[in-house]
Every structure is written in structure tokens, then in C-alpha cells.
Chains A and B, each alone.
Chain A
Amino acid sequence: MCTYLTEKIEVTGSGKGSAGWFALSDATVYFDHPQHALAEHTLNIDFLNPGNGPSARVAVELTAESARALVRAIEATLAAAPPGLI
């Protein structure tokens, strides 16, 4: 079966989808069968604006190893930002 734990968060920012840039309101994070990636399961992130319909979505499917590397990169980048910018 194909439906695993989903984390939902509210986000502020923008994403670029099939119709160009749009404002983001939500993100979902889940570990599930991918649509496209060649793996049995992947860490999937959907950046969304449900108010703009189902197509307002930027999706990524990452192997677990890649997802953890991304988390470390994000944390490292934010930690290295000059004081006062965050």
C-alpha cells in the first residue's frame, strides 16, 4: 500500500511550478512510493498552495540518504548566514 505518515506544515515563500512562480502556503513531507524516482520508497516533499488548485505544486522525491543530506545542508546554510539576516 502506498500511504505513509505525512507531516504537514505551513510555509511562507514561493515556488516555481509548471505555470511559473506562485506563493506557497503549505508543505507536506512523507515517505512513500515515488511517482518518478527509481526507488521503492522516497522522501517526498510537496510545496503547495491549495487555494490555487492541485496544480500549484512543486514536488521532489529524494532517496532517504539524499533527504538527510539536504537537511544537513539547509541547517548548515542557515547557521552560516550572517547575524541580523535571519
Chain B
Amino acid sequence: MTDALTAGTISITGHGGDEIEAYLARPLDAAPFGGVVVIHHMPGYDAGTKEITLKFAANGYAALMPNLYYREAPGASPDDAAATARALGGVPDDRLVGDVSAAAAHLRALEGANGKVGVIGYCSGGRQSFLAACSLPLQAAVDCYGAFIINPPPPERPLKVEPILGLAKDLSCPLLGLFGAEDKYPGPEETAELAKELSALGKEHEFHTYEGAGHAFFSADRPSYRVEAANDGWQRIWDFYGRYLAS
């Protein structure tokens, strides 16, 4: 083990044949390795999510984070792109699935890939991780505080997404859910309902809800960061991906 890795922005062919940018981080140590598609939060393709992508590479996975807002704001700074995407109501579900599918295919085609690909998403990306895992053949999925799987957004919000609990029957892989007990979107009652549905369907899942944590407790550069929840959450992720993605 040299701990060497490489990272940088590449171009992939996403949904609808669109060229979009994506941040790829991969280990240089001995293959084979699993892959992780990282779905960024509402604030977009930002430095914090690039650090998360790097963290996966440092832990032995090839990780790829597509810029889901690239079409609306090519070349714009992440916060400007996020403001534009926010005003447009977020990312359409079919486009998200297409972009994650393209990212997964890119990871599987890397030299040294073991063919196993997981997905992880934060905030809006949590719902999108579940959506992708219900729409694509994946080996493991992580939902970090994704709302609006069970309940719709309040009507006054500009976010144009629908509940997707009905897709749970199509979940293609085990699901790890990491949530804050003080979060309202999703609230603990929502994540409990999701767990109940997955149990009823016989879908493998593992949910953890952290006391003292709210939304976005993994975001180390924000006041919402909760070190105990984040540290334990990362350990759960390594354990989970180690079981399902490692060679």
C-alpha cells in the first residue's frame, strides 16, 4: 500500500447523450477495487463533496461524482450553479438516473475495477441515491438524510420532486440509511416508515438515526456538522461497502 491516488475532473456522457463534467478519484494501489458514485447535495459540485469523493479513493474505492447541475450552469461556480438549479426546481428524476447510470458504467470500465458499484448521496442526493438503487443494477446504496421519499415537499417549496416509496419493490441492492434524529426533512417518522416498507418487502437495509444530529451532519464545513454522528456514520459506510463492494 502506497496510499497514492489520483483525482480530477473528467467528462462523461450522461443522460440523453449530454457531455457533463464529473470528479473522479481513484486509488493507484493494487487493483481490483470497487466503485462508488457520489451524488452531491443541493449546494452542488462543491469542494466539500469533492473531499468526500477523495475520501473514498483514500479508502480503496474508485469514486465518481457527476456534476448534476452542469447542463444549467457549465463553468459556473458551484454556488451559482446551485442557485440556478434550485430556481428550476432541482434535477429531474429521469435525468438523475441517466447520469448515475453513466457514472456507474464509467467506474465498471476502469482498468482494475472489480465490477461492483455502489451509490451514496447526501441531502437531496439521499433521495436520489435511493432512486438510483431502485432504477439501476447496483451492489450497495447509502442514503444520507434524503427527504421526500415518503412525503412530498410542502407545496410552497420550489423543489419539483414526488415521493418514490412505490419504487421500493425494485430496490436492487442493500440500503444503508444514515439520519439525524433532529432532522425534519426527513423526520424520524418518515425514515421509520421507509424501514417498515423495506422490511415488508424483504429488502435488506440498515438504518441508523443519530441523537443530537440534524440535517447535513456529515458537512464538515457547516454548523450542522456533528462529529460523533459523522465519525460513526463513516465507520458504518466502510463496513457496509466493505461487505458489498470490496473484492
Contacts and interface: CB of A to CB of B under 8 A. Distances in A.
Interface string B215-227: 1100000111000
A1 B123 contact: yes
A29 B185 CA distance: 21
Given A1-B123, A33-B216, A57 B80 contact: yes
Interface in A36-86: 36, 38-40, 46, 48, 50, 53-55, 57, 59
Interface string B49-80: 00000000000000000000000110111011
Give chain A's interface residue range (CB within 8 Å of chain B): 20 to 34
B101 to A, nearest CB: 24
B52 to A, nearest CB: 17
Interface string B166-186: 000000000000000000011
A36 B138 CA distance: 34
B147 interface: yes
Contacts of A33: 42-43, 215-216, 222, 224
Contact of B223 (A3, A40, A50, A59): A40
Nearest to B78: A35
Given A40-B224, A53-B73, A3 B157 contact: yes
Given A3-B158, A33-B216, A54 B43 contact: no
Contacts, number: 73
Contacts of A1: 42, 123-124, 147-148, 153, 159, 185-186, 215
B90 interface: yes
Contact of A2 (B43, B77, B79): B43
Interface string B87-129: 1001000000000000000000000000000000001100000
B15 interface: no
Ranked nearest first, the 6 interchain pairs of A and B with the lowest CB-CB distance are A1-B185, A54-B73, A1-B147, A2-B42, A54-B76, A54-B84
Given A6-B86, A38-B223, A50-B84, 11 more contacts: A1-B148, A1-B153, A1-B186, A3-B153, A6-B158, A8-B87, A18-B77, A33-B222, A54-B72, A54-B83, A57-B83
22 contacts: A1-B123, A1-B215, A2-B41, A2-B123, A3-B42, A3-B90, A5-B156, A6-B158, A8-B87, A28-B83, A28-B87, A33-B222, A33-B224, A35-B43, A35-B79, A40-B214, A40-B223, A46-B83, A53-B73, A54-B72, A55-B80, A57-B83
Interface of A: 1-6, 8, 18, 28, 33, 35-36, 38-40, 46, 48, 50, 53-55, 57, 59
